[in-house]
């Protein structure tokens, strides 16, 4: 069983052909509104808060980029799972036209 103080860290590769662009960053920030845990995303030596659209865009994460998600606090596992789904999504399941 996981305690609230335990840190979860998971690597994820961007699957969207346009990378971590404004729509995805906004969706990620909206996802974080449902969680009280603290989450950051790291690309190489740059680490940003998952609640900051500007910070997420500053990562300049293109398709195929590996990011490290780091979370701690209540609901961390669920938050990380939802973020991974957003970042790995290639967009093909949204409109059926791809």
Active-site residues: which are they?
Answer: 21
Q: Are the CB atoms for 91 and 39 separated by under 8 Å?
A: no
Burial 45-71, CB ≥16 within 10 A → b, else e: eeebebbbbebbbebebeeebebebbb
Nearest to 59 by CA among 31, 34, 40: 40
Of 64, 58, 55, the residue nearest 88 (C-alpha) = 64
């Amino acid at each position: 069983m996981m305690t609230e103080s335990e840190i979860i860290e998971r690597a994820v590769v961007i699957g969207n052909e346009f990378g971590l662009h404004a729509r995805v960053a906004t969706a990620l920030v909206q996802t974080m509104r449902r969680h009280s845990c603290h989450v950051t995303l790291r690309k190489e030596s740059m680490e940003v808060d998952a609640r900051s659209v500007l910070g997420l865009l500053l990562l300049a994460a293109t398709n195929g980029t590996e990011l490290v998600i780091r979370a701690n606090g209540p609901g961390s596992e669920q938050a990380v799972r939802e973020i991974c789904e957003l970042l790995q999504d290639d967009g093909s399941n949204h409109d059926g036209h791809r």
